[in-house]
Amino acid sequence: MLLVAPETFTGDVVTNDLSASPSVQRFTSFLKGHPNANLLVGASSRTYLNRALKPSYTARRAGDGVWMESHNSALMLDAFSFPEVFHKSKLVVAVEMTPYPAVFCRIDDRLGGVMGRCIGQNEAAPLHFNEYTRASDGTAVVKETIPVGCAVCYESVYGEYCTGYVRKGARLLTVITNDAWWGDTPGYRQHLSYASLRAIETRRWIARSANTGISAIIDPSGKVVSHTSWWRPEVLKGKVGLNDRQTFFVIHGDFIGRLSTLMAALILLATIVRRFSR
């Protein structure tokens, strides 16, 4: 059983001391009572660094000789293994990350720190869902490990980026998101539609968890099999399939899009040449 909670579900996670997080402790305690379950959950996390000097442009002072780097993370937890962490890498400019930090972080410091400074991973990487069985002595033994891709919020908009999870073995995709900031506008519905495109491109089932809706289960053809409502407290239950195959899009990327762009550029160039050659 995989339980999926939305983006930034909790905010007390310290990456270099995960076991000290009250949320991680509560999650682990819950999972020990449900040993067949894994929990995938979003978290605003921090990494603390002990340095005499500022370790990076994006670091914020957290005390005397202590600096903090922030992340928008996804955690995979179960009752028996150490939590696994993925940091969102497609970060939203200004809200989550500061562009050209050597310049703008200095300006931001003077403004009192109004811009986001999250640090993400360099590339997509799957998390791992563990299924356990009991050995003859009663200890838990990993029966199967299933790679799961987790796109955090806006990452689900990037088709070729999401293929990175599949190329690294993901047999299932998930999307965790905070769509509250859209309000009741077409934005949150459009965001859901992008998840359907990712399912079609990769031929993977997708489990999508959104804090204010719409959470959904999407099949490999892009069909929304089941979903929650907008702005109502609901729990969505369902079954998903696993797939090991890689599609043409996963292997070659947006080949059609790049070819179409090249053809459009050639047609435009030919039109300009013909016009000025008269």
Tallying the residues shown for the chain, one arrives at: 278
Whether residue 97 sits in one domain with residue 15: yes
Which pTM does this prediction carry? 0.89
Number of domains in the chain: 2
DSSP string, 128-182: EEEEEEE-TTS-EEEEEEEEEEEEEGGGGG-HHHHHHHHHTT-SEEEEEE--GGG
Q: Identify the CA nearest to 71 among candidates 109, 112, 120, 36.
A: 120
Tokens of 166: 């599949």
Q: What does the pLDDT look like over 203-212, one tens digit per residue?
A: 999 999 999 9
Whether residue 120 sits in one domain with residue 7: yes
Phi, psi of 10 (to 5 degrees): -140, 165
Query: Given this model, what pLDDT does residue 257 score?
Result: 85
Whether residue 156 sits in one domain with residue 270: no
Whether residue 276 sits in one domain with residue 143: no
Domain of residue 269, residue span:
254-278
Local mean pLDDT, 10-residue blocks, the chain (278 residues):
94 92 94 93 94 90 92 95 94 90 89 89 93 84 92 94 95 96 91 96 97 95 96 94 95 88 91 82
For residues 171 and 173, what is the distance between their CA atoms, to the nearest angstrom? Answer: 7
Whether residue 92 sits in one domain with residue 51: yes
Query: Given this model, what pLDDT does residue 153 score?
Result: 92
Whether residue 100 sits in one domain with residue 220: yes
Tokens of 148: 């799961």
Supply the DSSP symbol for 79: S
Whether residue 261 sits in one domain with residue 148: no
CATH of the domain at 219: 3.60.110.10
Whether residue 41 sits in one domain with residue 84: yes
Q: What does the pLDDT look like over 43-82, one tens digit per residue?
A: 999 999 999 888 998 999 888 999 999 999 999 999 999 9
For residues 209 and 151, what is the distance between their CA atoms, to the nearest angstrom? Answer: 11
Whether residue 261 sits in one domain with residue 140: no
Whether residue 150 sits in one domain with residue 270: no
Whether residue 274 sits in one domain with residue 214: no
Whether residue 121 sits in one domain with residue 221: yes
Tokens of 113: 């720190």
- How buried is residue 206: exposed, middle or buried, by Cβ count under 10 Å (0-12/13-18/19+)? buried
Q: Within 10 Å of residue 128's Cβ, how many Cβ atoms?
A: 16
